[in-house]
Amino acid sequence: MKKYNIIVLLCSFLFLSCNAQTSDRENATGSTHKNVISFDTTYKTIHIFVALCDNKYQGIVPVPAKIGNGQDLNNNLYWGCGFGIRTYFKNSKDWKLVKTEKLDDIKLERLVFKHRTKNYFLVADAYNGQYIKQCTKDFLNSSSGQLKDTLHINKTTIGIAGNSKLVAYIGHNGLMDFQLTETYQNDDSKKRDVIILACYSKRFFSSHLKSANVNPIIWTTGLMCPEAYTIHDALTGYLNNETNEKIRTRAVLSYSKYQKCSQKAARNLLVTGR
C-alpha cells in the first residue's frame, strides 16, 4: 500500500511539474499569457520610438560628431538638441513632463508627458543608435499589436506599445540598410494610427505594415529631417480629432516653416493614407 501511495505521489508531482514547465514556456514565448495586464482606458497613449542619430552605426550622411553620437542623449540631434523630442516637448506649452527613467543599454531613456487639457499620455523611448534595428522591430510589432505593454504613472496604469492609440517612429530609415524577415500580422483586429518620420518611409515601411491593420496618418516620400516640431504640430490636430488630411496640413506647415522650404515641397514629402 505504501509503495502504491509513493507511485501516485510521484506521478502527481511529474504532472504538476510538466504543467508548470509548459506555463513557463508559454510565458517566455508570449504565446498565451502575453498582453493580459489591464490598464486604465480612460487615458489614451501615444508611443514614439526614437532611433538616436548615429554617424557610426547608421547609413546616414554624417552630421557633426557631437549631434551624431547615438549613445549621447543630451546632444543627440533627435533627442537632446533644441529640436529633439526631449527638448522640444519639454518646452511645449501643451505637454507636461511627468516621468523620466533610464532603462538599459538599448533603450537609454524613457520620457512620459501628460497633455495639459486632454486625457492623453505621450511616451517617448530613446534607442541607442547602434540598436536602430531593434527600435524598428519594436515599432512594427507595436503597430501590429504583437507587442503590448503597460506603464505605471503614479496610481494609474496606462497602455503602451501596441496598447497605444497611436504609434510613431522617428529617426533614420534603417530599412534602407538592413532587411527584416519577420511578419507583422495584426492578430487582435484593432486598427492603430501610425506616424513614420524617416526618409522614404512610405516606400520602405508599407510592405511590413501591409497586414498590420494600421492607419498611416503621416509618412514620407523622400528625404527628410525628422525633428520634433513636425510630429508635435501633427499631434495637436490628432488630439482635436481632425481628419488625416488636416493633421497632415499641420505637419506640412510646421515642416515648411522650420526647414524653410515651400509648402508645396513639404506637401509632396509628407503624405497620408496608403
- Position 174 scores a pLDDT of 98
pLDDT digits (tens, 9 = 90+) for 184-203: 999 899 999 999 999 999 99
Lowest mean pLDDT among 17-26, 39-48, 262-271: 17-26
Whether 260 shows a pLDDT value over 90: the answer reads: yes
* H or E segment and range at residue 152: strand 148-153
- Position 163 scores a pLDDT of 97
By percentage, how much of the chain surpasses pLDDT 90?
85
Mean pLDDT of 110-120: 98
- Position 37 scores a pLDDT of 73
Running DSSP on this structure, what letter comes out for residue 249? H
Mean pLDDT of 172-183: 96
DSSP-assigned beta bridge partners for residue 215: 193
Residues 118, 246, 51, 264, Cα dihedral to 10°: -150
- Position 54 scores a pLDDT of 98
DSSP E strands, 93-191: 95-101, 107-115, 120-127, 148-153, 156-161, 166-170
By percentage, how much of the chain surpasses pLDDT 70?
87
Mean pLDDT of 10-39: 42
DSSP-assigned beta bridge partners for residue 46: 122, 166
pLDDT digits (tens, 9 = 90+) for 33-90: 344 579 999 999 999 999 999 999 999 999 999 999 999 999 999 999 999 999 999 9
Q: Can you tell me whether residue 211 is helix, strand or coil?
A: coil
CA distance 148 to 54: 27
Domain range annotation of the chain: 38-228
CA distance 230 to 245: 14
Contact 160, 150 (CB under 8 A): yes
Mean pLDDT of 8-13: 38
Give 125: exposed, middle or buried? Use CB within 10 Å, 0-12, 13-18, 19+.
buried
CA distance 248 to 64: 30
pLDDT band at 30 (very low <50, low <70, confident <90, very high): very low
Q: What average pLDDT does the chain have? A: 89
Whether 106 shows a pLDDT value over 70: the answer reads: yes
Rg over CA atoms, the chain? 22
Whether 118 shows a pLDDT value over 70: the answer reads: yes
- Position 14 scores a pLDDT of 34
Mean pLDDT of 162-189: 96
pTM equals: 0.87
Q: Can you tell me whether residue 267 is helix, strand or coil?
A: helix
- Position 36 scores a pLDDT of 53
pLDDT digits (tens, 9 = 90+) for 136-167: 999 999 999 999 999 999 999 999 999 999 99
